Chains A and B, each alone.
Chain A
Amino acid sequence: MSSQLAELLWAEKYRPRSLKEMVNQEEIVKRLQKFVEEKNMPHLLFVGPPGTGKTTAAHCLAHDMFGENYMQYMLELNASDERGIDTIRTKVKEFARSKTPPNIPFKIVLLDEADNMTADAQQALRRLMEMYTVSTRFILIANYPSKIIEPIQSRCALFRFTPLKKEDVVARLKWICSQEGCEYDEEALEVIYEISEGDMRRAINILQAAAALGKITVDIVYKVVGLARPQEIRMMLKLALEGRFTEARNELRKLMVNYGLSGIDVIKQIHREVFGPEFKLPEDVKVMIADYAGEIQYRLVEGGDDEIQLNAFLAWLALLGRKLRAAGE
């Protein structure tokens, strides 16, 4: 009981550091270990659903390749956080000039969420990959391979990460519980798996919050998940459908300002909520809502202002609500 005073998020604390520690994706791990043995690798493209170990695998690979201080030989970028391809280009350029590892002739650029880049930016990225191909290897990470342009795909070795199996996730959660000495109901861990849809990171986040509240039971898990979901989403939908547009708009502003959600985050959450169990509407109406939500999301992607687009959505809901009430009477 060397009582660690400082605690970390378990998603970081229990992240495997070396390929040896990875418990899933055995085929992929084997292939990656080959690269380590050969001290060489092509550009890599990791694709798969969130929380299946793509980023972890990249870090483990770099760790095993370069040793404990691997971060000095790896540039980690997240396409969603970088302001456009120009900043990425500048950073890569600078990184390529920095010192090289002792035994290995290249360094690694890890570009996460690469499928968030536009096709144009990806073209520029492709040229970048060619320009520095002698001294750097790229690891690109994406959820959907189809969102990565063909010329990049053809330059990379593709690794498909499969969704984690229930046994694997539950076993990992159990192992963490045993390390932390927390009590749990077996069923609760299964519920965590169901809710997180095989996303290990999300599962671990839920586990830690649940553990903080006490013994991990099914009830606690649901409580945690309920607390974590902004209540404003449901409130906003309810108000809009009742025709109270201005109040619904206030809830929307709270979501965007207080939680820092983007328009796309909000519309996605709305979509999830509408098809969720607590939302009582006729099934065909749910489909209509989804249809318009899809349109609004597209407008957001096209560069429409977040609040204006969502207000259009709420105004439409208010109208829909009135029609439903009229039909019901």
Chain B
Amino acid sequence: MMRLLPGERLPWVIKYRPKRISDVANQEQAKKLFIPWLQSWLRGRIPEKKAALFYGPPGCGKTSLVEAAAHEYKLELIEMNASDFRRKEDIERIAKTAATQLSLFGRRRIILLDEVDGISGTADRGGLEAILELIRVTRHPVVMTANDPWSQRLRSLREASLLVPFNRLSNRVVVEVLSRICEAEHVYCERAALMYIAKRAEGDLRSAINDLQAIAEGYGKVTLDIVEGIVASRDREYSPFEALRHLFMSKYAWQAKRAVTHSNVDYDTMMQWINENIPNQYTDPEDVWRAYEALSRASVYLGRIKRSMSWDLLSYVFDMMGPGVALARKKSKFKWVKYSFPQRIVMLARTKEVREVREALAAHLASRLHVSKAKVKLEVLPFLSIIFRERPDYAARIAIGYGLTERMVKYLAGPAANEVMEHVNMLLMRMEKPSKVTEHAPRTTTTAPATATTTAEEAHSHRRRRSTTRRTTRRRRRKTSSSRQTTLF
């Protein structure tokens, strides 16, 4: 989902991803277990355990080792993330790929199931089964990663896998990597500053690199002065991801409140982040509901504030969206999950165009039918859509009657849009007969929205163009059209 805007730089965690197994910092023990297992696969001897389970704290190189191995041995990496495990069918689809011998280009494959501890209990039982089935049928090595592999749920997975432990990286190792990156980027750095970053990251190399990049790109150099200042302020300003992590880990109300008040996005946006991630974090339906109930109250309080402009009520909003949500957890255990970006915001961005068309259509029809836009959307568009999908010929006449744009037609007719437009064009040709145009066109032209080319406008341009250049064809067509005229009912 990573998209780079022009001028935006590649995140260093991706740019400096290890390309070779030897590049993966430390973790010799893990390599000793993993490499022979992998080579055995590659030599065509399928090991007893067909899957490997990498476990260890976040940011210690689990995923990196798989990626480096894939790169080094030229394997096609098939990757799947916790959020995709929710649907059994998706795993089954991967399983099909896993069961076939070679990829399209004859390359061998390695299958990575990232963060399998993100699978929740009962709801995803089908998911767990599907993974076990995948391991049974696979003809390619399967690697899974987890922060905490010891939960009861993952027992069957543990039994089916080679267990590969990863250690928390020492500060020394983290500093080593950071200083190599600084060298490659030609960034001046003080060792003490790198040490400071490393300490704060607590063995999480990924977050340490992110911190380093933020400072280096912001200040052009990495000195202890800057780092101390930044890191201190970053303690107060959490990214939404960090804020969520702090929020859901909170044991006390003050911690949870601090997490939401110190996020670097506004409370409306933070609410959307929480809204998105409650079901990722909580597995028990009762916890989920309690959390949503708290968030719902927070949102109502915010609504009241906006109406009455009583901003001193804001504290209660934070109480409900912070502690209210965090302390809703009574039955689910805390687990590491990957938080997702609020999909609603993504969806709204992606569907902007469609929504604009619908809005324009609603406004256009509302003025003709003398009802509100909301009523048009609720009571008129559904029926209109039926006509457009089921009766393209008739729909075309309505499209002309209201001077609908092609995009509006598309919105209403969906798959039948082309057919409707063909009919529209056919009808517009028939309308060339001047008397007919004047009979029916003015109505449409006066009310058609001025923003886009309307079919009604097209009618005029058609008429003009044709009347001057193609008299003979016109005459002929007029004849055929009159014989083709059909009544609708």
Contacts and interface: CB of A to CB of B under 8 A. Distances in A.
A98 interface: no
B275 A308 contact: yes
Contacts of A228: 382-383, 385-386
Interface in A270-302: 296, 299, 302
Given A257-B355, A265-B378, A308-B275, A244 B390 contact: no
A6 B366 CA distance: 19
A112 B300 contact: no
A197 to B, nearest CB: 12
A228 B304 CA distance: 35
A207 to B, nearest CB: 9
B431 A302 contact: no
A313 B377 CA distance: 23
Contacts of B398: 7-9
A201 B440 contact: no
A273 to B, nearest CB: 14
Contact of B397 (A7, A205, A246, A262): A7
Given A12-B369, A213-B391, A228-B383, A305 B343 contact: no
A312 B298 CA distance: 12
Interface stretch (A36-44, A99-107, A166-174, A314-322): A314-322
Contact of A308 (B122, B271, B369, B385): B271
Interface stretch (B194-202, B206-214, B283-291): B283-291
Interface string B295-309: 110011011101100
B387 interface: yes
A80 B347 CA distance: 25
Contact of A5 (B291, B295, B440, B487): B440
A75 to B, nearest CB: 13
Interface in A158-190: 180-183
B449 interface: no
Contacts of A137: none
Contact of A6 (B86, B306, B344, B400): B400
Contacts, number: 198
A59 interface: yes
B401 A181 contact: no
B348 A303 contact: no
Contacts of B397: 4-7
Interface in B374-412: 374-375, 377-380, 382-387, 390-391, 394-395, 397-398, 400-402
Contact of B299 (A208, A249, A305): A305
Nearest to A183: B489
A209 B383 contact: yes
A1 B436 CA distance: 13
Nearest to A227: B386
Contact of A113 (B307, B372, B386, B488): B372
B288 A205 contact: no
Interface in A222-274: 224, 227-230, 243-246, 249, 253, 257-262, 265
B303 A311 contact: no
A305 B292 CA distance: 12
A78 to B, nearest CB: 4
Nearest to A309: B296
B335 interface: no
Nearest to B367: A76
B268 to A, nearest CB: 8
Interface of B is mostly: helix
A212 B393 CA distance: 10
B271 A6 contact: no
Contacts of A245: 279, 285, 288
Contacts of A125: none
A5 B123 contact: no
A253 B272 CA distance: 13
Given A12-B368, A224-B386, A308 B427 contact: no
A62 to B, nearest CB: 11
B50 to A, nearest CB: 30
Q: Of residues B123, B362, B373, which shows the largest number of chain A Cβ atoms within 10 Å of its Cβ? A: B123
Interface string B354-368: 110011001101111
B485 A209 contact: no
A122 interface: no
A141 B278 CA distance: 43
B343 A253 contact: yes
B246 interface: no
B289 A312 contact: yes
B3 interface: no
Q: Of residues A1, A181, A227, A229, which shows the largest number of chain B Cβ atoms within 10 Å of its Cβ? A: A227
Contact of A209 (B303, B344, B378, B386): B386
Contacts of A183: 489
B139 interface: no
Contacts of B464: none
A3 interface: yes
A208 B383 contact: yes
A27 interface: no
B399 to A, nearest CB: 9
B275 A211 contact: no
Contacts of B443: 6
Given A208-B383, A209-B387, A304-B300, A9 B288 contact: no
Given A9-B380, A113-B372, A303 B344 contact: no
Given A6-B444, A308-B275, A312-B296, A211 B489 contact: yes
Given A56-B370, A304-B302, A305-B271, 5 more contacts: A180-B488, A229-B382, A230-B382, A245-B285, A257-B355
7 contacts: A1-B485, A11-B380, A81-B372, A257-B347, A260-B355, A305-B302, A319-B285
